Chain A
Amino acid sequence: MAILQLALKSLWNRKLTFFITLFSIAISVTLLLGVQTLKNETKTSFMKSISGTDLIIGARGASSQLLLSSVFHIGNTVNTIKYDTYLTMNESPAVEWAVPISLGDSHKGYTVMATALNFFEHFSYANQQQLTTQQGKIIDDMFAVVIGADVAKKLNYKIGQRIVMTHGGGEIGGHDHDNIPYFVSAILAPSFTAIDQTLIISLEAMEAMHTDNHGHFGALPNEQTISSEAEHEGHEGHKAHEDKHESHEGHQSHDSHDDHKAHQDTHESHEEHQSHASHDDHKAHEDTHESHEGHQAHDSHDDHKAHEDTHESHEGHLAHASHDGHDDHKAHEDTHKSHEGHQSHDNHDDHKAHDKHQGHEHHDDHEAHEGHQAHDDHQDTAEQRVARLFKLKPQNINAVFVGLTSPQAVLGMQNYVNNFQDEPLTAIIPALALQALWQFFSVAEVALNIVTVFVVLVGLLGMLSIILMSLNERRREMAILRSVGAHPGHIFSLIIGEAAAVCFSGIVVGVMLLYVLLFVLQAPLAQHFGFYLDINMLSSNDLLILAVIQLCALTIAIIPGLLIYKTSLSDGMSIKF
């Protein structure tokens, strides 16, 4: 062991070159292990993208394409399957749960995924982990959007913010569905899957955007003109209100009944109404009138027109939204009552039907308003309101995530889906498809490996050249050692020992450097790139790699070892310079 001690002391004597060599090896080791770690972590996070889902069902096609589009939201999703197929699958006895997925829209480059509410209940990643919210609540609202952690961070979105989706995948060039804005209801906690870069909306809303008129519904059939007028007035929320009023009026105008006319008049002007006060059927009208009076008192307006104006104002609407028993509302009810009064007075069948319709509509409207109150300022556009009323059902979807009642059912179910009668389908088992897809990247993996191997080789060659350069100036040292009885073998092992020491300390420093880097980079990587690095102990594979590097260093050191062996044999104790 005296030789090793000598080698170490000799190395220490050449600190500068020793440390340079050491660091070149350390850096190459760090790079090699770092690439290995990144590779493994990428693979792990790739494999963790989905779990707990037994099958993914999509249109007939390549399984990798289905996996890429449905799980990673990569690639164009042209092929769709019928929503009815999803319903059929959902009813299959082997299926415990099924979640429909629809893709194709984007928001500022981020994927928009439409799904059902049970997605959050069933979708899991990594080790059966479910998606959790970091802010807000996942609510059952047609125009609520749940956004991924990255989306929220990069676009700086807050709960309640209104956003617009774009048709197609690109950042530019798509058609903006600006008439159907969404409000952010929840921000998900980072999952380090594609979900982080995804906005999740309801299937109904997705369908609303993709009807033939791209969600430009206009208005209900009998309120078309006015709603289009209303569109220019600015305050959408109120527009809807006005629509209601107008439709009410419109309804009245359809009626040729005298009383009704009088009622309409009441609406139009207080004085006019007063002039009608002597009318036979005035009781009901008086009711109406009273309500209007109350209203007027509140608004400090003389005629109903003015009252309507107030309606148009934003504040008026807000006040309405915040007070259940507000005058406006009362007015509505009163109006409604007055209609009932009408009913009692004249048993017009048509009129009844109208009444029912109005009542229904009114009720819907009210519900919608309550919904709004839950999330503050959000107000539906006319289109949204109408879209809500349409109770849209999706026609087509892109994929269905399926959980089975028993794992044994997977193959049977896959077979059933692949041979589905109604339309051509493909069912993939996510774990297997992920494995198969990963093979795709194996070429890149090999290329990466080759590069890092060369980096290590360069490091070792650097060590070789530095040892070789040192040999000449160490000939005296060798001669002295020879004179005190060192064998050429001792001299040889001195060189090998030096290489071993340099390489070993290089490896140790390299590993330390790796862990320092991992610890330093972990947070920023997760934060800025959504890539979660799990810091593990060195794997047996890593240790094997390190052993191979050490062995390579020893092998390479044979070259200078033999050279000095030869020189020390011929030099002997006399130093010929």
Chain B
Amino acid sequence: MIKINDLCFSWKNTPVINIDRLHIPVGQHLFIEGPSGSGKSTLLNLLAGVLAPQQGEISVLGQPLSELSGSQKDSFRADNIGFIFQQFNLIPYLSVIDNITLPCSFSKKRKTNALLRANGGDLKSEAIRLLNALGLDDNALFQRSVNELSVGQQQRVAAARAMLGSPEIIIADEPTSALDSEHRQAFIKTLFEECQKENITLIFVSHDKSLKHHFDHCINLQEINNVNTKESV
């Protein structure tokens, strides 16, 4: 459950986001539509607690973020939110498996969850299970440097990382923009299936309207954002 009320955020005295109200129930797959520069990234950073609003209230899973300290917010994020970015999601010097298990270094909760799902296996086996579920079943691939993976493979590795240890929320920021249309459909399909299985709230941000039809709920950021972003950019 994410609740945003009277949110106002300015970057260097320039208002970027001003949202009166936005409620996202648990398990919802929400598509937030908005062209580049409409404040999507800022909104995601606000939801993640990386940025703090000057005004208003954001509460995630019933926890008002403003009540948390900086490092508490970081831990909270590590525990509850998985992220998938447009591209370059992976740390180049870590292996595929290490990239996927990275959140477990920062969150005990996700580590426990992951191990629970592994049915007595270790984090690696859970990571491989997720990769298999996302359609990556070539074990030789996992030994390679992440730089040798194709963009589509990289995005699936990123999705596996976001899903490892079953966070409550997955925030995806244009995860398919680097993929061709065929891969895009497949990727979204797998992502949906996995989120459904784990009852994960999915927030999918994109400027690509063609993806809209996959989602039951859609929001146009420009419509709910009172700041006229086109002028401010």
Q: Which residues of A does B touch, CB under 8 Å?
A: 2-3, 6, 9-10, 12-13, 476-477, 480-490, 572-575
A490 contacts which chain B residues (CB < 8 A)? 106
Q: A12, B93: Cβ atoms under 8 Å?
A: yes
- Tell me which of B78-86, B112-120, B181-189, B221-229 binds A: B78-86
| Nearest-CB residue, chain B, relative to A1 | B105
Cα-based distance from A6 to B95 in the complex (angstroms): 12
A575 contacts which chain B residues (CB < 8 A)? 88
B107 at the interface (CB under 8 A from A): yes
A573-B71 contact in complex given A2-B105, A484-B102, A485-B106, C-beta closer than 8 Å:
no
Name the one of A476, A477, A480, A486 contacting B74, with C-beta atoms under 8 angstroms. Answer: A486
A574 contacts which chain B residues (CB < 8 A)? 41-42, 44-45, 173
Q: A572, B51: Cβ atoms under 8 Å?
A: yes
B22 at the interface (CB under 8 A from A): no
Q: B89, A480: Cβ atoms under 8 Å?
A: yes
Cα-based distance from A13 to B91 in the complex (angstroms): 10
B48 contacts which chain A residues (CB < 8 A)? 483, 572-573
Q: Which residues of B does A touch, CB under 8 Å?
A: 41-42, 44-45, 48, 50-51, 70-71, 74-75, 77-79, 83, 85, 88-94, 98, 102-103, 105-107, 161, 173
Cα-based distance from A297 to B70 in the complex (angstroms): 123
Q: B79, A485: Cβ atoms under 8 Å?
A: yes
Q: A487, B83: Cβ atoms under 8 Å?
A: no
Q: B50, A484: Cβ atoms under 8 Å?
A: no
A6 contacts which chain B residues (CB < 8 A)? 94, 105
Chain A: minimal CB distance from B191 (Å): 17
Cα-based distance from A229 to B83 in the complex (angstroms): 114
Cα-based distance from A424 to B44 in the complex (angstroms): 95
Q: B106, A484: Cβ atoms under 8 Å?
A: yes
Cα-based distance from A476 to B146 in the complex (angstroms): 15
Q: A573, B50: Cβ atoms under 8 Å?
A: yes
30 interchain pairs, CB-CB under 8 A: A2-B105, A6-B105, A9-B93, A13-B93, A476-B88, A480-B89, A480-B91, A481-B102, A483-B83, A484-B78, A484-B102, A484-B103, A484-B105, A485-B74, A485-B75, A485-B77, A485-B107, A486-B74, A486-B106, A488-B70, A488-B74, A572-B45, A572-B48, A572-B51, A573-B44, A573-B83, A573-B85, A574-B41, A574-B45, A575-B88
Q: B45, A480: Cβ atoms under 8 Å?
A: no
Cα-based distance from A12 to B107 in the complex (angstroms): 25
Cα-based distance from A574 to B92 in the complex (angstroms): 17
Cα-based distance from A346 to B23 in the complex (angstroms): 154
A9-B94 contact in complex given A485-B79, A487-B70, C-beta closer than 8 Å:
yes
Q: B83, A481: Cβ atoms under 8 Å?
A: no
A482 contacts which chain B residues (CB < 8 A)? 50, 74
| Nearest-CB residue, chain A, relative to B84 | A483
B107 contacts which chain A residues (CB < 8 A)? 485
B92 contacts which chain A residues (CB < 8 A)? 13, 477
B50 contacts which chain A residues (CB < 8 A)? 482, 572-573
A483 contacts which chain B residues (CB < 8 A)? 48, 77, 83, 85
Cα-based distance from A305 to B71 in the complex (angstroms): 120
B103 contacts which chain A residues (CB < 8 A)? 484-485
Supplied contacts A477-B92, A480-B88, A487-B75, 6 more A-B pairs, CB within 8 Å: A9-B93, A12-B93, A477-B91, A480-B91, A480-B102, A485-B106
The winner among A3, A6, A484 for most chain B CB atoms within 10 A is A484
Cα-based distance from A484 to B106 in the complex (angstroms): 7
A10 contacts which chain B residues (CB < 8 A)? 93
Cα-based distance from A12 to B51 in the complex (angstroms): 32
Cα-based distance from A486 to B102 in the complex (angstroms): 10
A485-B78 contact in complex given A477-B91, A572-B48, A573-B50, C-beta closer than 8 Å:
yes
Closest 3 CB pairs of A and B: A485-B78, A13-B93, A485-B106
Chain A: minimal CB distance from B70 (Å): 7
B102 contacts which chain A residues (CB < 8 A)? 480-481, 484
Q: A480, B90: Cβ atoms under 8 Å?
A: yes
Chain A: minimal CB distance from B159 (Å): 13
Q: A484, B161: Cβ atoms under 8 Å?
A: yes
Cα-based distance from A293 to B146 in the complex (angstroms): 114
Chain B: minimal CB distance from A567 (Å): 12
A486 contacts which chain B residues (CB < 8 A)? 74, 78, 106
Name the one of B71, B90, B161 contacting A487, with C-beta atoms under 8 angstroms. Answer: B71
Chain A: minimal CB distance from B143 (Å): 15
A484-B93 contact in complex given A572-B45, A572-B51, A574-B45, C-beta closer than 8 Å:
no
B45 contacts which chain A residues (CB < 8 A)? 572-574
Cα-based distance from A477 to B146 in the complex (angstroms): 13
Q: A484, B70: Cβ atoms under 8 Å?
A: no
Chain A: minimal CB distance from B192 (Å): 21
A9 contacts which chain B residues (CB < 8 A)? 93-94, 98
Cα-based distance from A481 to B107 in the complex (angstroms): 12
B106 contacts which chain A residues (CB < 8 A)? 2, 484-486, 490
The winner among A486, A489, A574 for most chain B CB atoms within 10 A is A574
Chain A: minimal CB distance from B111 (Å): 11
Cα-based distance from A263 to B188 in the complex (angstroms): 141
B74 contacts which chain A residues (CB < 8 A)? 482, 485-488
Chain A: minimal CB distance from B63 (Å): 15
A3 contacts which chain B residues (CB < 8 A)? 105
Chain B: minimal CB distance from A562 (Å): 15
| Nearest-CB residue, chain B, relative to A490 | B106
B161 contacts which chain A residues (CB < 8 A)? 484
B42 contacts which chain A residues (CB < 8 A)? 574
| Nearest-CB residue, chain B, relative to A10 | B93
Cα-based distance from A572 to B49 in the complex (angstroms): 9
Cα-based distance from A488 to B70 in the complex (angstroms): 9
| Nearest-CB residue, chain A, relative to B75 | A485
| Nearest-CB residue, chain A, relative to B49 | A572
Cα-based distance from A483 to B90 in the complex (angstroms): 11
A572 contacts which chain B residues (CB < 8 A)? 45, 48, 50-51
Cα-based distance from A573 to B44 in the complex (angstroms): 9
Cα-based distance from A476 to B90 in the complex (angstroms): 9
